[in-house]
C-alpha cells in the first residue's frame, strides 16, 4: 500500500534521482533561496499595460482584500468590479482597487459582459448561491476553499463546474499552484523519504477571530466563523489548506478522522472551539496530526512529513530535509546548503534554483515574499481563463476535446479544480464534525465520489 | 401581431438567411478553391527562439487560427501527383499575442514578467494578434518519397507589433488523409525589422536581434453542411 502511494507517477527514487540528476544537483547545490519562481518583482507600470482580463471580486473581508492586493500585482489582470453587501467593506477595499466599480449586488456583475471571471471570497456558507449563479452566467469562477460548509452544497458546486466545460473553475487550494509544492511533490512521492511514517501540521496564531461592528446584525454577519451553524471552525476554515496539501503528497484522501476541540481561552460566549486537534488516518495506517489554536502563536504554521529515511519540513515558502543517520546517501546533500534548527541540521530543498546557479547567483539571505501561493494560484487562474477565452474566440466552443487538448499543451501552471476542491471540502466538513463531537468518523469512499 | 413586430421578424429572418449563405460559401471556399481550416489540438504549436547575452530564450503558443484556400495544384490527398509551380492561394493565419508564453527548455512556464515584456515588445495591446497573409504559394518540387512532405515556398505579409513586412520561407505540407493536413515551417526574423528594439535589462543582459519562428499548423477540410450522416 505504502509502495503504491510512493509511486503514483510510475517512478521510484532511483528514477527520480536519475532523471533529475543534473537539474536536481544544481538545484540542491545552488544555495539560492527557496522561492520557486525567481522572477522580478511584478507589477511594474509597463507590465500593467498588458492588462486585458477583467475580474470581479465578491466578498471583501480580510481575505477578499488580500486577493485584491494580489491581483494588483498581476500584469494580466484588471479588477473591474468589487462587491460586498456592507458599505464600509466596499469603501475600505475601494482604496486598494481605486479603478474598480463598487456594487452591493453581485447579480449586476453576472449581467456585465465585460467581466470575464469572478472570485468568490464571501463567507463559506454563501459560496454556493454565488458560484452557481456565476457559472450559469458563463463566468470563470475562482471559489475560495472550502467550497461550502456542507458536503451537499460542495457537491452541487462541483457538479455545476463539471458541467460548465467551457469555463474555468478553480478552487482556492492555493498551495496546489505553488511551484514549491510542485518541486516537493515528486521528491516526496518518489520515496526519497523512505517509507511514510506520519505527518504533522499546525497553525498557531494569537487572535480572537472576533471583530466588532456598529450593529448586532453586522457583528453577527462579520463573525460568521464563530457561528457553529455555518462555520467549519479552525480545522475546516484554516486547516483545509494544510490537510489538503498533505493528502496531495500522500496521494490519497483520508479514510478516517478523529477530532477534539474546546473553547479554552476566549470565553466570550462562542461555541466554536478556539483550539482544535485532529488526527486524519490515511490508507496504510499513516496518520496526520493537525492542531490549531487562536490562543498561542508559538511556531506559527508549518507542515511535516516523516519517512523512515528523512523528514521534510515545509514552512512559508521554504522546505528542509532532515536525514536519519542510517539513511542512504543521495549524493547531492553533501554539497547542499544546510541550516541549523536547535540540534538538527536541515538540508535546504531548493526549487528552481538551477536558473540561479546557471546565472551565477550567489547564496544569499531569503528575500521577502513577492510570490505567495495566492499569487501563483490567481496568476494560474487568469492565464487559464485567458487561454480558454482565446481558444473559443479563435475556434468556437463546438469541440470540448480540442479545447482540453489545447489546454493540456499550453504550458499553463497547475491549479486545483472542482474535484480537488470537492474532496477538500468533504474532509473539512467531516473533520469539523469530528472536532465538534470528539468522535472518530470513518470517511466513506462514496462521500468523495462526485457522481 | 403589430406591423413593427412583423418588420423586425422579416429583418431577422433575412439576416439569418444571409448569414447562412455566407457560412455555406465560406465552407465551400471561393470558386474552384478548396478551403482548409485550422484544426486545434495538441499538435498545433508556434515556437519562438531567441538569444541573449546570458542564455537563450524560448516562447511557445498553441493557437494558430485562420484558413488556407488553395486552388488546383495543391495536394489534397496523400501521394497525389502535382506539378511544381504556383498554386492559387488565399490564406490568413492569426496568433493571439497573449497566448505566447515564455518557457524553460523543458517546457515549464518561465516567468510572467518575461511574458509581460514580450507582450509589451509586441505592442499588445493594441496589436493583439500576429497576422500572416499569404499572397503566393509555390510548389518547389514534388516529394521524392511517398511519405515525404510537399515543399512549398510561401510569400506574404507578416504583421508583428503593428508593422508589416513581406517575407517568404519554405513550408512543408503533408496531406494526412481523411481530409487532414499538417503544415510546418520555420523562418528567421530580425526584431528590428518590426521596430522592436532588443531589450536590455539592468545593463548586463541584452537580447539578440534574431528570432527563429517554428510552427506546426494542423488543417482540416471540413465537410460541407448537409453531407454528414
Min CA distance, A371 vs chain B (Å)?
A: 11
Q: Select from B63, B103, B116 the Cβ nearest to the Cβ of A50.
A: B116
Comparing A102-116, B40-54, B86-100, the range with the smallest average pLDDT is B40-54
**A361 in reach of chain B (CB within 8 A):** no
Give the pLDDT band of residue B78 (cuts 50, 70, 90): very high
**A227 in reach of chain B (CB within 8 A):** no
Nearest-Cα residue of chain B relative to residue A52: B125
pLDDT value at position B31? 72
Nearest-Cα residue of chain A relative to residue B40: A402
Q: Name the E strands within A12-98.
A: 53-58, 77-83
- The three grid cell numbers given for residue A390, joined into one nine-digit string: 482565446
List CB contacts (< 8 A) between A49 and chain B: 120, 125
A258 contact partners, CB below 8 Å, separation of at least 6: A278, A279, A281, A434, A439, A440, A441
3-class SS at A449?
A: coil
Q: Give the span between the Cα atoms of A3 and A270, in whole angstroms.
A: 45
Q: Select from B60, B112, B119 the Cβ nearest to the Cβ of A379.
A: B112
Min CA distance, A280 vs chain B (Å)?
A: 34
Q: Give the span between the Cα atoms of A143 and A420, in whole angstroms.
A: 12
pTM: 0.81
**B44 in reach of chain A (CB within 8 A):** yes
Cα four-point dihedral sign A316, A318, A319, A320:
negative
Q: Are A122 and A222 a contacting pair, CB within 8 Å?
A: no
Instruction: State the CB neighbour count (10 A cutoff) for residue B30.
Output: 13
**A405 in reach of chain B (CB within 8 A):** yes
Q: Average pLDDT of chain B?
A: 84
Could A359 and B44 be called an inter-chain contact, meaning their C-beta atoms sit closer than 8 Å?
A: no
Residue spans of the domains in chain B: they are 1-31, 34-221
> Which residues partner with B92 through β-bridges?
B67, B133
List CB contacts (< 8 A) between B56 and chain A: none
Q: Give the span between the Cα atoms of A288 and A305, in whole angstroms.
A: 9
Cα four-point dihedral sign A117, A56, A173, A125:
negative
Query: A 158-197 residues with CB below 8 A of B?
Result: none
**Most B CBs within 10 Å, among A390, A392, A396, to test the B interface:** A390
List CB contacts (< 8 A) between A50 and chain B: 98, 116, 119-120, 124-125
Could A386 and B108 be called an inter-chain contact, meaning their C-beta atoms sit closer than 8 Å?
A: no
3-class SS at A169?
A: strand
List CB contacts (< 8 A) between B107 and chain A: 411
List CB contacts (< 8 A) between B59 and chain A: none
Q: Select from A44, A358, A406 the Cβ nearest to the Cβ of B40.
A: A406
**B15 in reach of chain A (CB within 8 A):** no
> Which residues partner with B155 through β-bridges?
B136, B168
Question: DSSP assignment of A364-384, as one string?
Answer: -PPPPPSS-HHHHHHHHHHHH
- The three grid cell numbers given for residue A19, joined into one nine-digit string: 532523471
pLDDT value at position B110? 83
Could B55 and A387 be called an inter-chain contact, meaning their C-beta atoms sit closer than 8 Å?
A: no
List CB contacts (< 8 A) between A359 and chain B: 54-55
**A74 in reach of chain B (CB within 8 A):** yes
Nearest-Cα residue of chain B relative to residue A391: B63
Q: Select from B38, B42, B111 the Cβ nearest to the Cβ of A409.
A: B42
If you average pLDDT over residues B151-162, what whole number do you get? 96
Residuewise pLDDT in 10s, chain A (451 residues) = 233 333 333 333 333 333 332 233 223 322 222 233 333 333 332 333 344 689 999 999 999 999 999 999 887 889 999 999 999 999 999 999 999 999 999 999 999 999 999 999 999 999 999 999 999 999 999 999 999 999 999 999 999 999 998 999 999 999 999 988 888 998 899 888 999 999 999 999 999 999 998 899 999 999 999 999 999 999 999 999 999 999 999 999 999 999 999 999 999 999 999 999 999 999 999 999 999 999 999 999 999 999 999 999 999 878 898 988 888 877 667 667 778 877 788 888 866 544 444 444 444 444 444 579 999 999 999 999 999 999 999 999 888 889 988 898 888 888 999 999 999 999 999 999 999 999 999 999 999 999 8
**B165 in reach of chain A (CB within 8 A):** no
Could B96 and A394 be called an inter-chain contact, meaning their C-beta atoms sit closer than 8 Å?
A: yes
**B56 in reach of chain A (CB within 8 A):** no
3-class SS at A281?
A: strand
Min CA distance, A41 vs chain B (Å)?
A: 8
How many CB pairs below 8 Å do chains A and B form together? Answer: 94
3-class SS at A161?
A: helix
Strand B129-141 and strand B89-96: the pairing is antiparallel
Min CA distance, A332 vs chain B (Å)?
A: 21
List CB contacts (< 8 A) between A74 and chain B: 112
Superfamily of the domain at B34-221:
Lipid/polyisoprenoid-binding, YceI-like (2.40.128.110)
Min CA distance, B54 vs chain A (Å)?
A: 7
Element at A142 (helix H, strand E): strand A140-143
Q: Give the span between the Cα atoms of A127 and A140, in whole angstroms.
A: 14
- Kindly tell me if the per-residue pLDDT of B87 is higher than 90: yes
Three-state SS string over B137-187 comes to EEEEECCCCCCCCEEEEEEEEEEECCEEEEEEEEEEEEEEECCEEEEEEEE
**A400 in reach of chain B (CB within 8 A):** no
- The three grid cell numbers given for residue A285, joined into one nine-digit string: 495506517
**Most A CBs within 10 Å, among B62, B93, B197, B202, to test the A interface:** B62
**ipTM for the complex shown:** 0.77
Amino acid at each position: 500500500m505504502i509502495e503504491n502511494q510512493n509511486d503514483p507517477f510510475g517512478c521510484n527514487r532511483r528514477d527520480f534521482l536519475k532523471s533529475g540528476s543534473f537539474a536536481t544537483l544544481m538545484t540542491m547545490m545552488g544555495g539560492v533561496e527557496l522561492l520557486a519562481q525567481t522572477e522580478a518583482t511584478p507589477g511594474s507600470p509597463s507590465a500593467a499595460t498588458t492588462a486585458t482580463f477583467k475580474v470581479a471580486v465578491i466578498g471583501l473581508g480580510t481575505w477578499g482584500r488580500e486577493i485584491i492586493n494580489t491581483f494588483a500585482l498581476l500584469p494580466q489582470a484588471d479588477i473591474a468590479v468589487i462587491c460586498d453587501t456592507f458599505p464600509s467593506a466596499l469603501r475600505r477595499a475601494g482604496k486598494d482597487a481605486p479603478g474598480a466599480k463598487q456594487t452591493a449586488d453581485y447579480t449586476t456583475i453576472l449581467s456585465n459582459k465585460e467581466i470575464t471571471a469572478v472570485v468568490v471570497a464571501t463567507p463559506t456558507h454563501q459560496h454556493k448561491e454565488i458560484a452557481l449563479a456565476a457559472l450559469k452566467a458563463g463566468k470563470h469562477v475562482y471559489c475560495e476553499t472550502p467550497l461550502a460548509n456542507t458536503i451537499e452544497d460542495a457537491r452541487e458546486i462541483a457538479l455545476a463546474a463539471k458541467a460548465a466545460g467551457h469555463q474555468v473553475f478553480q478552487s482556492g487550494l492555493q498551495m496546489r499552484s505553488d511551484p514549491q509544492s510542485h518541486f516537493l511533490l515528486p521528491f516526496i512521492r518518489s520515496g526519497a523519504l523512505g517509507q511514510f511514517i506520519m505527518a504533522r501540521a499546525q497553525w498557531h496564531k494569537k487572535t480572537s477571530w472576533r471583530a466588532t461592528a456598529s450593529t448586532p446584525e453586522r457583528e453577527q454577519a462579520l463573525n460568521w466563523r464563530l457561528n457553529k451553524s455555518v462555520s467549519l471552525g479552525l480545522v475546516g476554515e484554516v486547516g483545509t489548506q494544510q490537510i489538503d496539501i498533505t493528502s496531495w503528497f500522500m496521494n490519497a484522501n483520508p479514510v478516517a478522522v478523529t477530532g477534539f476541540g474546546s473553547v479554552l481561552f476566549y470565553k466570550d460566549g462562542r461555541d466554536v472551539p478556539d483550539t482544535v486537534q485532529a488526527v486524519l488516518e490515511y490508507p496504510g495506517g499513516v496518520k496526520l496530526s493537525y492542531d490549531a489554536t487562536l490562543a498561542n502563536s508559538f511556531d506559527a504554521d508549518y507542515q511535516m512529513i516523516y519517512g523512515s529515511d528523512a523528514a521534510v519540513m515545509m514552512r512559508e515558502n521554504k522546505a528542509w530535509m532532515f536525514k536519519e543517520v542510517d539513511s542512504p546517501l543521495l549524493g547531492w546533500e553533501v554539497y547542499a546548503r544546510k541550516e541549523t534548527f536547535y540540534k538538527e541540521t536541515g538540508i535546504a530543498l531548493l526549487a528552481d534554483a538551477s536558473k540561479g546557479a546557471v546565472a551565477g547567483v550567489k547564496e544569499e539571505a531569503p528575500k521577502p515574499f513577492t510570490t505567495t501561493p495566492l499569487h501563483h494560484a490567481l496568476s494560474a487562474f487568469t492565464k487559464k481563463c485567458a487561454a480558454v477565452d482565446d481558444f473559443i474566440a479563435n475556434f468556437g466552443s463546438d469541440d470540448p476535446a480540442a479545447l482540453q487538448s489545447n489546454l493540456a499543451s499550453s504550458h499553463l501552471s497547475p491549479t486545483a479544480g472542482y474535484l480537488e476542491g470537492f474532496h477538500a471540502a468533504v474532509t473539512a466538513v467531516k473533520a469539523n464534525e469530528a472536532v465538534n463531537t470528539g468522535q472518530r468518523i470513518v470517511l466513506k469512499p462514496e462521500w468523495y465520489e462526485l457522481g | 401581431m403589430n406591423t413593427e413586430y412583423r418588420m423586425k421578424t422579416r429583418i431577422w429572418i433575412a439576416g439569418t438567411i444571409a448569414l447562412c449563405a455566407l457560412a455555406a460559401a465560406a465552407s465551400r471556399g471561393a470558386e474552384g478553391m478548396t478551403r482548409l481550416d485550422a484544426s486545434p489540438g495538441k499538435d498545433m504549436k508556434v515556437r519562438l527562439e531567441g538569444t541573449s547575452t546570458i542564455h537563450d530564450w524560448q516562447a511557445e503558443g498553441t493557437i494558430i487560427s485562420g484558413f488556407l484556400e488553395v486552388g488546383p495544384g495543391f495536394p489534397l490527398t496523400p501521394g497525389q501527383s502535382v506539378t511544381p509551380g504556383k498554386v492559387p492561394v488565399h490564406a490568413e493565419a492569426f496568433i493571439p499575442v497573449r497566448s505566447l508564453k515564455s518557457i524553460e527548455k523543458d517546457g515549464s512556464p518561465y516567468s510572467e514578467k518575461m511574458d509581460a515584456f514580450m507582450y509589451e515588445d509586441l505592442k499588445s495591446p493594441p496589436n493583439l494578434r500576429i497576422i500572416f497573409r499569404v499572397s503566393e504559394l509555390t510548389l518547389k518540387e514534388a516529394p521524392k518519397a511517398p511519405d515525404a512532405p510537399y515543399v512549398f515556398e510561401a510569400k506574404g505579409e507578416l504583421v508583428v507589433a503593428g508593422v508589416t513586412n513581406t517575407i517568404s520561407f519554405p513550408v512543408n505540407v503533408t496531406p494526412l488523409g481523411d481530409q487532414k493536413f499538417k503544415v510546418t515551417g520555420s523562418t528567421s526574423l530580425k526584431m528590428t525589422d518590426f521596430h522592436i528594439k532588443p531589450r536590455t535589462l539592468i545593463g548586463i543582459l541584452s537580447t539578440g536581434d534574431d528570432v527563429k519562428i517554428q510552427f506546426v499548423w494542423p488543417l482540416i477540410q471540413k465537410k460541407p453542411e448537409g453531407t454528414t450522416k
